[in-house]
Structure 1
Amino acid sequence: MNNTPSTDIRALRAIAAAIDAQHGKLPDLTDPLRPPVLGDVARQITALGQLAADMGHEVFFSDAREPETHTPKVIAAYTAAVRPTAEAVSALGQVAEQLAFLDRTEHLRAQPDADDAREAAVHVIDEALCTAHTTLRDAADSLRAASTTISPPSVQLRAALSRSPASPSATASTPPPPPAAPSTAPARRGR
């Protein structure tokens, strides 16, 4: 596995895009065409859990490889993004719990106490979805921001390195030739 700035930048951006995709799938209580469905929320919990595991693997493999100058930034980016991703998973867990409650109490809808509890469940779902929206946006944004701090070598630097001798330190340690010694021969004088 390559440990180059370019590959790490692509990996950070790919996980950010995957988090964005999950963010786009979050249900919206204000959209009657996209009400929260327990099965969909469960799939998102699984997908986000997999993304958190992927970030954990990236940290593990980055730490196990020969470190490059950019490696600490990569590790910090993944570890910082795991927390908001896990918070989104937790929030979606609350959503799933409340959706299951609503399914179980559907037949009690006409009873005043049950109706109050169901309204409270909808409020919890709304708050949890807001948390999931915010934390997923934060996770993706932090990964994208980190990818901009890791810069691959410029085209000019790569070209210069390809033209350089194999061992630049060997040529740097060779002393320059001594300056030409002044001539000690007597100068001729005119007659």
Structure 2
Amino acid sequence: MIDTVSSDALALRATASGFDAVRAKLPDTGNPDRPLDNVTIAFQLSHLGTLLTELADEVLHRAAERNRQGHTAPAIMGFAAAVQPACRAASALGAVAHQLSTRDQAGHLGDEPGAQDTCDVDRLVIGDVLDVADQALRETSEGLRAAGETISPSSARVEAARSRSTTAAPSPTPPSPAVPPAAPPGRNSRGR
């Protein structure tokens, strides 16, 4: 028999890690080591689209198999709830791709007056939209992890709970002696 609780929790956590990976590779407008170009954004958007498809597939699979396999409703809810912030992140990355395309198309402005100001405003707008994507991706992965914790607490939490529940409490009555008590002094003890 498959332990659906464990597999559901692992699937939620693995999916959260996928969203963390996209978030870690988001470009930064002020960091030259993380380029901000259409190819980079398109790659991240494509990867995010794959993760969105996986979210939808997880919901579909668990909903369809729920009665036969015993998949937990919290797993379905966790995957379904992650769709909204993930879509918000995809929308933000789409807006960045659009802004970059517009900027590239307007590149012919070159040395015209106001071109530098337009470029600076463009960078600020893109930075703000990338912040929206970053926040939405964080919300997605945190929600998935929280759902996984609801289903199957991490081993550290389980161990802590076990240690609290199995700690020996002082016994309210003293243990009974193995040897009968001796007769008080001055009394003879009779045995039959």
Q: TM-score range by the shorter chain?
A: 0.7 to 0.9
CA 1:60/1:2 → structure 2, altered by over 3 Å: closer, same or farther?
Answer: farther
Question: How far did 1:3 drift?
Answer: 6.6
Cα pair 2:20 2:137 within 8 Å, conserved: yes
For 1:120, the aligned partner's letter is: V
How do 1:26-105 residues align onto structure 2 when only pairs under 5 Å count?
Answer: 26-67=26-67, 71-105=72-106
Question: How far did 1:70 drift?
Answer: 6.0
Q: TM-score, normalised by structure 2?
A: 0.73
What SS does structure 2 have at the residue aligned with 1:29?
coil
CA 1:10/1:41 → structure 2, altered by over 3 Å: closer, same or farther?
Answer: same
* Structure 1 unaligned spans of 5+: 155-191
Q: TM-score, normalised by structure 1?
A: 0.73
CA 1:11/1:105 → structure 2, altered by over 3 Å: closer, same or farther?
Answer: same
CA distance in 1, matches of 2:98, 2:147: 34
Question: How far did 1:127 drift?
Answer: 0.9
CA distance in 2, matches of 1:49, 1:2: 29
Question: How far did 1:2 drift?
Answer: 5.0
For 1:148, the aligned partner's letter is: E
* Structure 2 unaligned spans of 5+: 156-192
Q: What percentage of aligned pairs have identical amino acids?
A: 41
Query: Residue in 2 aligned with 1:107?
Result: 108
For 2:127, the aligned partner's letter is: D
Alignment length, in residue pairs? 153
**Aligned-residue CA RMSD (Å):** 2.2
CA 1:54/1:105 → structure 2, altered by over 3 Å: closer, same or farther?
Answer: same
